[in-house]
Amino acid sequence: MCRLFGMLSVKPVSAAKYILEDPCSLYAQSKVNPRNLQGDGWGIGFYEDGSPRLVKSEGAVYMEYEALSSAVRHARSRMILAHIRGASNPRGLPREKIISKENSQPFSYGRYIFVHNGTIMIPDELANVLGVWKEKIRGFNDSEVYFWFLMKELDEGRDMPSALWGLKKTLEELWEEAQRRHPDKKQPYTGLNMILSDGECLYAYCEHRDRKVGGRSLCFGDQPVFEMSYILGRDRLVVTSEKTNREENWKPINYGELLIGKIVDGEISVESENVP
């Protein structure tokens, strides 16, 4: 289970409150449950002079607080994404293959920055439909294949809801044939929770296959385990895997819901679409 964070602000600001300081900050989430540590890498993505900047590590974030703190406090921007990784391994690879800076998130291409929580259970099958985009895959993280599929769809002129719909449809079609080769797997993916930025818009999507497992959020334990949360003000939109404090007015992102945040006339505007 990974942890996600995204923030869009009218003015360049720091995300230290939500990533480092809150009672259930992203950093706190990484170590609050000793049986479910998020210790397989971390990263911060933001924009500097209009271009994406990434700071990533393959280390356990709860053992690298100073490095994380330095990266977070440097990242003053209108758009900030962060990720703490609990690695999935659908291919069954040796640990040394899947834990590296290359496999840590966020991923970036052109103006885009992307983070994901969930597992694509058939990453090789999905990679094989990417065409020339398959050549851009650098690591062994199934989330990276998800990222490049979205990049392919957007490059071909589709909007974000259509790209996500195409991903789901493609995974289901691939699964019809692939499941015979994977008798140990029950589904093509466990979760598609993601946050993506193009430098202007912040996209946040919540969908997972474990709605009935009954798990609870890592830190406060008062919301479903895969339910994403957000707060919206005139000057700021914050999206997280789970709320980081109790005093702000957090709302859930519903199953299958895509939030699209942008700045309009100096204020944050948010639209919501359902991806069938």
Strand-strand pairing, 236-240 and 229-232: antiparallel
For residue 235 the two structure tokens come to 């000057």
- pLDDT digits (tens), the chain, 276 positions: 799 999 999 999 999 999 999 999 999 999 998 888 899 999 999 999 999 999 999 999 999 999 999 999 999 999 999 999 999 999 999 999 999 999 999 999 999 999 999 999 999 999 999 999 999 999 999 999 999 999 999 999 999 999 999 999 999 999 999 999 999 999 999 999 999 999 999 999 999 876 544 578 888 888 888 999 999 999 999 999 999 999 999 999 999 999 999 999 999 999 999 998
Domains and their CATH numbers in the chain: 3-274 (3.60.20.10)
The CA radius of gyration of the chain, in Å to the nearest whole number, is: 17
Q: How far apart are CA 5 and CA 75, in angstroms?
A: 13
Q: Using an 8 Å Cβ cutoff, are 189 and 145 in contact?
A: no
